[in-house]
């Protein structure tokens, strides 16, 4: 077994032999805490940025529209992100960065956490270990993550230019014109 697969297998080793409900509850607690920590880290970053020269841009109409869209359409994305590997962290951070309301975020996050815990408590970790063994480690995970981020950025740029062909320049952060 490669070293990477051994590390994946070692993560839940202290849960081996435990009843399913205990394993499920522990994994649910882990993913719940991790998701909330990522969300609040995103909130902290944006709160800190609001005290910088970027504050006017962050409170501008474009970002306000983006926050409204995340609050309106982001809930299914939050829930479904827990069925992915790696993407869920980006979604949880984005929810915090866009200042999605905590109650709405948590309502979308809990079903995702339940699904994640159920998957990992049953076959998830064995499947990840087997996949890593077959794909020769993390390099494919990193490549896949980079491709997903690039695809999301390109899609966002394309959508922005489709909706607003006359893209305005960003405001001058220093205040000099």
User: Percent of the chain scored above 90 by pLDDT?
Assistant: 19
Enclosing H/E stretch for 136: none
- Is the per-residue pLDDT at 120 higher than 50? yes
Please calculate the CA angle 68-112-142 and round it to the nearest 5 degrees: 90
**Which pLDDT tens digit goes with each residue over 34-55?**
999 999 998 888 888 878 877 7
pLDDT for position 10: 42
**Segment of 7-16, 74-83, 131-140, 162-171 carrying the highest mean pLDDT:** 74-83
**Which pLDDT tens digit goes with each residue over 63-109?**
666 677 777 778 888 898 898 877 788 888 888 888 888 999 999 99
**pLDDT confidence band for 30 (50 / 70 / 90):** very high
pLDDT for position 139: 67
């Amino acid at each position: 077994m490669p070293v990477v697969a051994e590390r994946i297998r070692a993560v839940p080793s202290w849960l081996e032999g435990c009843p399913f409900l205990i394993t499920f509850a522990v994994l649910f607690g882990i993913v719940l805490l991790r998701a909330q920590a990522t969300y609040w880290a995103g909130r902290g970053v944006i709160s800190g940025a609001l005290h910088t020269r970027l504050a006017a841009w962050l409170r501008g109409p474009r970002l306000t529209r983006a926050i409204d869209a995340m609050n309106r359409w982001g809930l299914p994305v939050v829930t479904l992100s827990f069925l992915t590997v790696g993407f869920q962290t980006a979604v949880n951070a984005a929810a915090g960065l866009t200042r999605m309301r905590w109650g709405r975020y948590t309502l979308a996050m809990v079903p995702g956490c339940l699904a994640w815990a159920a998957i990992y408590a049953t076959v998830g970790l064995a499947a990840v270990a087997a996949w890593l063994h077959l794909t020769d480690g993390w390099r494919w995970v990193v490549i896949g993550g980079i491709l997903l981020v690039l695809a999301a950025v390109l899609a966002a740029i394309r959508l922005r230019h489709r909706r607003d062909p006359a893209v305005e320049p960003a405001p001058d952060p220093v205040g000099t014109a």
